[in-house]
Amino acid sequence: MTSIDDWRTYDGAALSPALASALQIFVEQGYHGTSVRQIAAGAGLSVPGLYHHFPSKQALLVGIMNASMDELLDRTRSAMGGAGSSPKERFDAVVESLLLFHIHRRDAAFVCSTEIRSLEPANRAAYIAKRDEEQRLLDAIVTEGVESGVFDTPHPADAGRAVTTMCIGVATWYRPDGPLTPAELVEVYLDIARRTVGAATGRGTAHGT
């Protein structure tokens, strides 16, 4: 679990060796193009040793996606808890959290986006429920902001989804050697997100600004 003080910090691996191996190979080859033997070798395990922890390749995919959504939800709640009381402060914190997650966990975010189709029906429904829970946190802030006059958009639900989609998209193109540092990217995309919901523009609360 993360705390209010460290939701911006991404140190070390978030996944076990088996899940980290599966994630790397899923990114490179796709879920259906990956064998359990490859995953086991990448984790330094025998196939029976891998099956002891994860009984199937599907279980590995579920493990990655559940761990990713649980971490994102935890960081989002921590960001909200550490923000001020106004909708704009909480909006900025949640958007920053979404952006940082999709920067620092871009491989996991990529697999969550592209391999949802590979989940079995019950697993897909459970994952979508967590994804919807994350969206509802942002939607509630946007709605509150509109009702209090802090935001000015006639389409709060669509604006909230647009902001989330924008943040998710960062995982598909961000590279550490690119032109923007994470802090610079957050400032640019926070400005875009604020404009999307009709908030007053200008420097906000990201990284204490």
d(CA 46, CA 20): 15
In this prediction the pTM is 0.90
Q: Is the pLDDT of residue 209 over 50?
A: no
Per-residue pLDDT band at 57 (split at 50, 70, 90): very high
For 139-194, what is each residue's pLDDT tens digit?
999 999 999 999 999 999 999 999 999 999 999 999 999 999 999 999 999 999 99
pLDDT at 139: 98
For 77-134, what is each residue's pLDDT tens digit?
999 999 989 999 999 999 999 999 999 999 999 999 999 999 999 999 999 999 999 9
Judge whether 125 and 66 are in contact, CB under 8 Å: no
Lowest mean pLDDT among 5-19, 28-42, 114-128, 141-155: 5-19
d(CA 35, CA 58): 11
